[in-house]
Amino acid sequence: MRSEGQVRFITISSRLQMTAAAIALAVFVIWMTSMAVAGWTQYRATADRLSLLDREAKVATATERVDAYRNDIDAVASDLVKRQEFIEDMVASLPEDVKAVQTVSDSSGEAAAMVDKVSVSIPEAGRLARIEARQLAFVEGLTRYADWRSQRAAAALKKLGLNPDSMIRNADRGAMGGPLEKLTTGAGDTIDPRFERLGLSIARMDALERGLDGVPQVAPANVQMVTSSYGYRRDPFTGVAAMHKGLDFRGPTGTPIYAASDGRISFVGRKSGYGNVVEISHGNGLMTRYAHMSKFNAKVGQTVEAGQTIGAIGSTGRSTGPHLHFEVRINNRAVNPRTFLETAPHVLEEIRRTSQLDSAS
């Protein structure tokens, strides 16, 4: 290096070069592994969906279903009972606004043809055929409605800069279990693909709408002044440029702090630099952090609603005066809270408005 007429030499030892190369290789391997895992997950999701669609295309035709009635009407009746139990269990688990939706009550197409053929060929089985047709019509109608709600929620999440597919993947990673209870069609151990499709559609709708419910939408404090925004700023202690990963709301000590959205308290205590902190998990990898608090009004494991008081403004930790430091994190990566606080209320209001119109119709 040449500086002020002088030449200086820097020698990098072979050991240091090997160490640097090893670190670079490790980072590369980790990156490739994460990309491979993400690619495999996406591949499996696509493959499973295509497999389901393929099996949906191969459901029994009207003629084949007539043969099933003719061969073993008792087995068909038993299968219809199982299907009805599945439908009733599914409906019982749905949100109230979904239960209120009137789905189609009359069958059409292949189901109607099946009813006609069964009634003509096996008159005593006509009533069972009509029950089956109504079940299928209900399942297909509810599936379409769940898919519409999923599309609406996905569009709202995209407006907020969130990835709907990531929300679903995060929901699938949660702790879960229980006995395996398959819905058979009466022929072996096969699951009717139309019922399976309904279950998947409801699960997708639930994951996306829970993701929307967890989006920060309420100002965490009733103070007008934001003294520091998200992004680079001059550090108040050192004076050098530094990254600020939240919003600072200045207010008097003791001013209430509110949960920005529904969630569960995941941390209450002190953190270096943050002072007294409350963290709320909103599901699907979304978390909000409230720092420099003077007191707590929350306990770990507690469920809170948007707007509920969780503490008070203070100046604990690395702070120059009483204020709230508010962060939003997705999979532990800080994002700009202003995007949510300014945009989410309008997006969610549009969702509520369309829901009311849908219920009224």
Which tens digit of pLDDT belongs to each residue from 37-89? 455 455 445 445 545 555 555 555 666 666 777 777 788 888 888 888 878 87
Triad 145, 283, 42: Cα angle to 5°: 65
pLDDT of residue 355: 64
Mean confidence (pLDDT) of the chain? 77
pLDDT grade, residue 201 (50/70/90)?
Answer: confident
pLDDT grade, residue 168 (50/70/90)?
Answer: confident
pLDDT of residue 12: 59
pLDDT of residue 183: 52
pLDDT grade, residue 350 (50/70/90)?
Answer: confident
User: Residue 220 corresponds to which tokens in the numbers above?
Assistant: 């965490």
For the purposes of burial, counting CB atoms within 10 Å of the CB of 360, is it exposed (0-12), middle (13-18) or buried (19 or more)?
exposed
pLDDT over 80 (residue 296): yes
Mean pLDDT over 250-254 rounds to: 93
* pLDDT-above-90 percentage for the chain: 23
Dihedral angle of Cα 289, 292, 297, 300, to the nearest 10 degrees? 50
Residues 251, 149: Cα–Cα separation, whole Å:
40
pLDDT over 60 (residue 293): yes
Provide the residue type at 86 as one letter: F
Domain 226-345 falls in which CATH fold?
A: Glucose Permease (Domain IIA) (2.70.70)
